[in-house]
């Protein structure tokens, strides 16, 4: 497939996800409650996780109907974690609209998130697979959510620490971001009738593009165009997040500059000047190039894994996605 065909395939699959999400998230009584449940999932989003699962399943010859409940479960779970993370991070905007707890209130947002989570499992109960496969998907999916929770906890905890190592960071983003893409590829392979070995190999593909995706997210959070990303300039700096760029800069800068960066990161209220200064310190440490290099390494590993599979038009889409996650600007 050429790039144009690939892009339209991805768009078509995202459209299918949107259509089914709209059905699952129909508003009923209590009305205001279901408006809150529907709010974030229907505000847009890349639908990256369900699309990857659909592409993997199609690559292995599954019918689109067979993968849809699993694809929806991934997107519902992703949205559930975002609704709760936004409360935790006190974020006011996402996807260009107020976050659920901002548009409604914190109690409603907590319960709306829980409901999206339960809806994800209700979708899994619709999977038409054999008992053992359903059990394994259920096990992996649940362990994934536990990992997501651990990762989110560590992400917040790292804000308060100065000594986060690169290894700790990689383990945190593995759990917080890469794990759900790993599950998307693993579960989709099982639904596509593949052996555990092939499913685990595909999981490795997902894990690697997940790591690349998060590192690129860190880069965009620092030097991305706010008009394109939808996030304010240096939003990670404002929160004092220990991104790969911050950790690399703290490991690389001389002690004076290191102290300067730490002082800014710890300041509860940061001025625009603080943020600019921090960004410049991080850039001067070569941390953007370092992060970019790491992201491309993980992307390449993902592509290498695909090399073990026979050629197929959906494999081209997966190759495209491995590149997209590191080259994207939003």
Which residues form the interface with a copy of itself (CB under 8 A)? 30, 32-33, 80-81, 84, 87-88, 106-108, 110-115, 117-119, 121-122, 124-127, 129-132, 134-136, 138-139, 141-143, 145-146, 149-150, 152-154, 156-157
Distances (CA, A) of 238 to 8, 140, 234, 318: 37, 35, 6, 34
Supply the minimum distance, in Å, between the C-beta of residue 101 and a copy of itself.
Answer: 11
Determine the longest span between alpha carbons in the chain, in angstroms: 61
Distance in angstroms (rounded) separating the CA atoms of residues 49 and 75: 7
Nearest residue (CB) to a copy of itself, 133 versus 309: 133
Report the C-alpha gap between 100 and 106 in whole angstroms.
8
Q: Which is nearer to a copy of itself, 41 or 224 (CB)?
A: 41
CB of residue 89 to a copy of itself, shortest distance in Å:
8
Comparison of 42 and 138: residue with beta carbon closer to a copy of itself? 138
H/E element, 62: none
Closer to a copy of itself by Cβ: residue 58 or 241: 241
Closest distance of CB 177 from a copy of itself, Å: 15
**Rg value, the chain, Cα:** 20
Minimum distance from CB of 72 to a copy of itself (Å)? 13
**Choice between 152 and 217, CB closer to a copy of itself:** 152
- Smallest separation (angstroms) from a copy of itself to the CB of 80: 8
**Count helices and strands in the chain by DSSP H and E runs:** 17, 2
CB-nearer residue toward a copy of itself: 87 or 283:
87
In this structure, what token pair is assigned to residue 297?
């390494």
Min dist CB 94 to a copy of itself, Å, is 17
Reading the block at residue 12, the tokens are: 């078509």
Residue 87: CB minimum distance to a copy of itself, A: 6
CB pairs under 8 A, 24+ apart, for 247-251? 247/164, 247/165, 247/166, 247/169, 248/166, 248/285, 248/286, 248/287, 248/290, 248/291, 249/281, 249/282, 249/285, 249/287, 250/162, 251/166
Of the two residues 105 and 313, which places its CB atom closer to a copy of itself in the complex? 105
159 or 297: whose CB is closer to a copy of itself? Answer: 159
How many Cβ atoms from other residues are within 10 Å of residue 254's Cβ? Answer: 9
Tell me how far, at minimum, the Cβ of 290 lies from a copy of itself, in Å. Answer: 26
In which residue are the tokens 């009305």 written?
31
Cα 262 from Cα 275, distance rounded (Å): 12
């Amino acid at each position: 497939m050429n790039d144009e065909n690939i892009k339209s395939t991805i768009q078509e699959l995202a459209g299918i996800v949107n259509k089914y999400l709209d059905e699952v998230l129909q508003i009923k009584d209590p009305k205001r409650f279901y408006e809150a449940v529907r709010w974030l999932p229907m505000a847009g989003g890349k639908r990256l996780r369900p699309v990857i699962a659909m592409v993997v399943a199609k690559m292995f010859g599954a019918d689109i109907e067979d993968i849809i409940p699993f694809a929806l479960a991934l997107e519902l779970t992703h949205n559930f974690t975002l609704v709760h993370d936004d409360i935790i991070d006190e974020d006011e905007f996402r996807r260009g609209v107020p976050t659920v707890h901002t548009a409604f209130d914190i109690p409603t947002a907590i319960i709306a998130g829980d409901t999206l989570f339960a809806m994800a499992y209700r979708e899994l109960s619709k999977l038409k697979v054999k008992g053992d496969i359903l059990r394994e998907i259920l096990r992996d999916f649940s362990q994934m959510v536990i990992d997501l929770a651990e990762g989110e906890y560590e992400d917040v905890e790292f804000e308060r620490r100065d000594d986060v190592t690169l290894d700790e960071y990689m383990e945190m983003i593995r759990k917080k971001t890469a794990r759900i893409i790993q599950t998307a590829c693993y579960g989709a392979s099982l639904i596509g009738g593949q052996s555990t070995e092939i499913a685990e190999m595909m999981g490795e593909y997902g894990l690697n593009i997940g790591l690349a995706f998060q590192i690129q997210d860190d880069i965009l959070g620092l030097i991305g165009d706010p008009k394109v990303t939808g996030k304010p300039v240096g939003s990670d700096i404002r929160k004092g997040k220990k991104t790969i760029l911050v950790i690399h800069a703290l490991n690389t800068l001389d002690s004076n500059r290191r102290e300067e960066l730490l002082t800014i990161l710890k300041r509860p209220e940061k001025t625009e000047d603080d943020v600019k200064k921090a960004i410049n310190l991080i850039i001067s440490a070569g941390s953007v190039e370092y992060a970019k290099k790491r992201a491309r390494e993980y992307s390449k590993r993902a592509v290498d894994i695909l090399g073990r599979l026979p050629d197929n038009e959906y494999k081209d889409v997966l190759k495209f996605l491995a590149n997209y996650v590191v080259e994207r600007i939003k």
